[in-house]
Copies of this chain bind each other. A is one copy, B any other.
Amino acid sequence: MDVKAYVEKLGLQAKQASRQLAALSTARKDAALERLAKLIREKEEFLVAENRKDLERTAEQGASAAFLDRLTLTKARINGMIEGVLQVAALPDPVGQVISGTTRPNGLRIQQVRVPIGVIGFIYESRPNVTVDAASLCLKAGNAVILRGGKEALNSNLALAGLIAEALAGESIDRFAVQMVEITDRETVKEMAQSDQLIDVIIPRGGEGLIRSIVENATVPVIKHYKGVCHVFVDEDADLDMAQQVCVNSKVQRPSVCNAMETMLVHEKVAETFLSKVASELDKENVEIRGDERTCAIIGNAKPASENDWSTEYLDLVLSVRVVDSLQDAIDHIAQYGSGHSDAIITRNIQHADEFVRNVDSSTVFVNTSTRFSDGFQFGMGAEIGISTDKLHARGPMGLSELTTYKWVVHGNGQLRR
């Protein structure tokens, strides 16, 4: 079967399934999720065996240790998946929530009611645990989902998709509610992104290159972030002890993720004191510093930053540092080089905090805390399907609500328009 026809078949099946899902009770969706958790527990050894096939083939192809690590389904990760599914089952169902409502002077009762989006296309790389996360969230929000995982994880993903299908069947839910794309060449991604009659939104996770290639070809709306070039600005009125702790946490607590700090901006009035202080802490954590001229004059072992460094997402123990003359310069730097993801100010000055919050146009703006908190779980959403730096529909961490849209429901008793 050619790729176009194959993707169209999946899309038609998903669209059909989405009609059942939209009207499905919370109890049945939750029961299916609980079944899935139970099945994953029962089929743990099968999953590990299928995953081993993926690992062996991928290792032979010379993948890096980090890549193989992400591909691996350990017992701990399987437990994590089960816990994740049960957490999603326990979350409130967003579908049916009344967002706003009013009664008009003519007696019309108008409600804005949350409903599922319809069909989600979810495109991701080779972490099989993401398969179950995404399927659970989409199902709970009443959406059909077409999952397109990385080719290296195909055996693991098909094994998981089999369990999901079994869980759906147990509650008489259309088996096409969750579908795994079995053809893993790049062409399927392109076809999905152009199926605007069948897929309502594409949510991609992965590297900037993958996501840009999807957006360029897409006629389906895409919700995404390209990268996280996150800043912490240490204001002239900062508590410098707090600033040091927050900067170190933002950089080193998990440097490989999108909400880690990549650039530290320091007000010139505190630069000498603060940079001398923080440099030794960062050095202990093996952080390489790339600084502007003034930074390099203060931190002896800093390398000079290139223009390119200011817009680079290192995802590693590397940090660019710039000394700025003012709060406005910090805001301007973030506007020019930032990615609109997560940016923080450390200050004791309310006016400076307010000005930073008002003028930094990022999905999350932090005052006196770590950028690492930019995360659906940390925000109390209970789960996260991704993070958006887009302006439309969803911005920042995306949970269940962000997987829904709304419809307007209007009740009358014969009102006519004059």
User: Quick one: which of B215, B221, B361, B392 contacts A22, CB cutoff 8 A?
Assistant: B361
Quote the shortest CB–CB distance from A104 to chain B (angstroms).
6
A380 at the interface (CB under 8 A from B): yes
The answer to whether A19 touches B391 (Cβ under 8 A) is no
> Which chain B residue has the least Cβ–Cβ distance from A109?
B367
Quote the shortest CB–CB distance from A361 to chain B (angstroms).
7
User: Quick one: which of B201, B249, B362, B373 contacts A392, CB cutoff 8 A?
Assistant: B201
A411 at the interface (CB under 8 A from B): yes
Task: List the one stretch of A30-38, A42-50, A173-181, A400-408 in contact with chain B.
Answer: A400-408
A314 at the interface (CB under 8 A from B): no
The answer to whether B335 touches A408 (Cβ under 8 A) is no
The answer to whether B359 touches A416 (Cβ under 8 A) is no
CB-CB under 8 A from A417, the residues of chain B are: 249, 253, 370, 372-373, 378
> Which chain B residue has the least Cβ–Cβ distance from A365?
B409
Protomer copies:
2
The complex places the Cα of A333 from the Cα of B104 at a distance, in Å, of: 30
Quote the shortest CB–CB distance from A248 to chain B (angstroms).
8
| Per-residue contact bits, chain A 359-387, to B (CB 8 Å; 1 contact, 0 not) | 10111111111101110001110000000
A219 at the interface (CB under 8 A from B): yes
> Which chain B residue has the least Cβ–Cβ distance from A379?
B110
Q: Which residues of A contact B (CB under 8 A)?
A: 19, 22-23, 102, 104, 108, 110, 115, 117-118, 200-201, 215-216, 219, 221, 223, 239, 242, 245-246, 249, 253, 335, 353, 357-359, 361-370, 372-374, 378-380, 390-393, 395-397, 405-418
